[in-house]
Amino acid sequence: MGFVFRRQSYPPPAAPQLMGVRRAAEQSQLSRQPVRIDLRLHFVTAMTNAPTVSEIVRHDYRAADVFRKWGINYCCGGNRPLEEVCRLQGIDRDAVEADLAGTRRGRRLLPGIDPNAWPLPFLIDYIQQLHHAFLRNSGWALGRQLHDFAAGHEKKYPYLREVDFAFADLLEQCIEQVEAEEEGLFPYLRQLWNARSNHDEYGALYLRTLVRPKAHADGERRVLPLLERVRALTGNYTFGEDACTNHQVLYHKLRDFDEDLVQHLYLEQSVLQPRAALLEKELRAL
């Protein structure tokens, strides 16, 4: 009886594979024919330096959304390298890598870009399409994730309930604010801009007849204390050593929300509002 083995350079086969070899040998005794056994074994690549999916998320929390999309467990069961997980689950690794690359594209203003030089309609569109869209999309998604995690881990992280309530209040105020801007302030400013750009002789009349929304500044004053409340409850988004990966991801996302909101408020308070006041002054002079 002869055996021909084709083996890759892996460690010795595990028990299930050995059982297959034994069955093949027993069948060979009956047939008296050489048996060719092809052992293609795949082991957890502990011998490589490839990071596990949990490590990828800890390095860049934004990867969590990508792994969630593809059904990849990145928290307590995320101790396998991405390549192995994709192979075991039948996932296109290139597609996952492409999604991961997409998350690394930031929303921040590039150095050297001065929003004060932008035409007012472009500035309004930028705020609405970038920051308002982020509030609605990422804000609601983060709120749901935080609520579900806090409810499911109340015994281990009881303080997250207060964080959940505080963030819900902050998000509600932010959404109320952006809706007021899109329904009132932004259309008002666009009309004034068009009147001035066209040298409309009725520009001053527009200014007297159109009522500038007053809720804008009041809404922003209500946002800041709520944001400070979230910061205080989270210790400025600092998690303990016992925090699991999902807990860390949530705090990173809260910090990202904070940073986006700060830039959002800066553009409206320090750029848009002075530009709006100057526009009104110019129209009064027509």
- Is 90 contained in some domain? yes
Q: Are residues 25 and 155 in the same domain?
A: no
Q: Are residues 30 and 72 in the same domain?
A: no
The Cα-based distances of 228 to 76, 232, 236, 258, 264 in angstroms read: 31, 6, 9, 10, 16
The more confidently predicted of residues 146 and 101 is 146
Q: Are residues 256 and 230 in the same domain?
A: yes
With pLDDT > 70 as the criterion, what percentage of the chain qualifies? 70
Q: Are residues 235 and 166 in the same domain?
A: yes
According to DSSP, residue 77 is labeled T
Q: How far apart are CA 195 and CA 173, in angstroms?
A: 32
The four Cα atoms 80, 252, 139, 263 give a dihedral, to 10 degrees, of -140
pTM of the predicted protein model = 0.67
Alpha helices in the chain (DSSP H): 15-31, 53-59, 63-69, 82-89, 93-103, 120-126, 133-134, 140-152, 160-180, 186-197, 203-209, 215-234, 245-266, 273-284
| Site of tokens 């934004």 | 62
* 3-state SS assignment for residue 39: strand
**For 61-84, what is the mean pLDDT?**
80
The least confident of 2-16, 37-51, 130-144, 166-180 is: 2-16
According to DSSP, residue 4 is labeled E
The answer on pLDDT for 258 being more than 80 is yes
The answer on pLDDT for 176 being more than 70 is yes
The more confidently predicted of residues 141 and 31 is 141
Q: For residue range 14-41, what is the model confidence (pLDDT) as tens digits? A: 444 444 545 555 554 544 555 444 444 3
**pLDDT at residue 16, as a whole number:** 46
Q: Are residues 178 and 74 in the same domain?
A: no
The answer on pLDDT for 247 being more than 50 is yes
- Is 47 contained in some domain? no
Q: For residue range 88-135, what is the model confidence (pLDDT) as tens digits? A: 889 999 888 888 877 665 556 556 678 889 999 999 999 999 999 999
**pLDDT at residue 215, as a whole number:** 53
Q: Are residues 96 and 132 in the same domain?
A: no
Q: Are residues 239 and 188 in the same domain?
A: yes
**pLDDT at residue 249, as a whole number:** 93
Q: Are residues 33 and 60 in the same domain?
A: no
The four Cα atoms 226, 146, 250, 100 give a dihedral, to 10 degrees, of -120
- Is 108 contained in some domain? no
CB neighbours of residue 229 within 10 Å: 17
Q: Are residues 280 and 178 in the same domain?
A: yes
**pLDDT at residue 153, as a whole number:** 92
Q: Are residues 149 and 8 in the same domain?
A: no
- Is 32 contained in some domain? yes
**For 161-186, what is the mean pLDDT?**
94
Q: Are residues 75 and 166 in the same domain?
A: no
The least confident of 67-81, 175-189, 246-260 is: 67-81
Please give the structure tokens belonging to residue 248: 């860390």
The more confidently predicted of residues 45 and 93 is 93
- Is 44 contained in some domain? no
- Is 45 contained in some domain? no
- Is 261 contained in some domain? yes
pLDDT grade, residue 3 (50/70/90)? Answer: very low
- Which residue range is the domain that position 182 belongs to? 115-284
**pLDDT at residue 202, as a whole number:** 59
Collect contacts of 32-35 with beta carbons under 8 A, ≥24 apart.
32/1, 34/1, 34/2, 34/3, 34/4, 35/3, 35/4
Q: Are residues 213 and 163 in the same domain?
A: yes
Q: For residue range 186-238, what is the model confidence (pLDDT) as tens digits? A: 998 998 888 877 766 655 666 665 556 665 656 677 898 999 999 999 999 99
The answer on pLDDT for 286 being more than 80 is no
**pLDDT at residue 77, as a whole number:** 66
Domain count, the chain: 3
- Is 110 contained in some domain? no
**pLDDT at residue 76, as a whole number:** 67
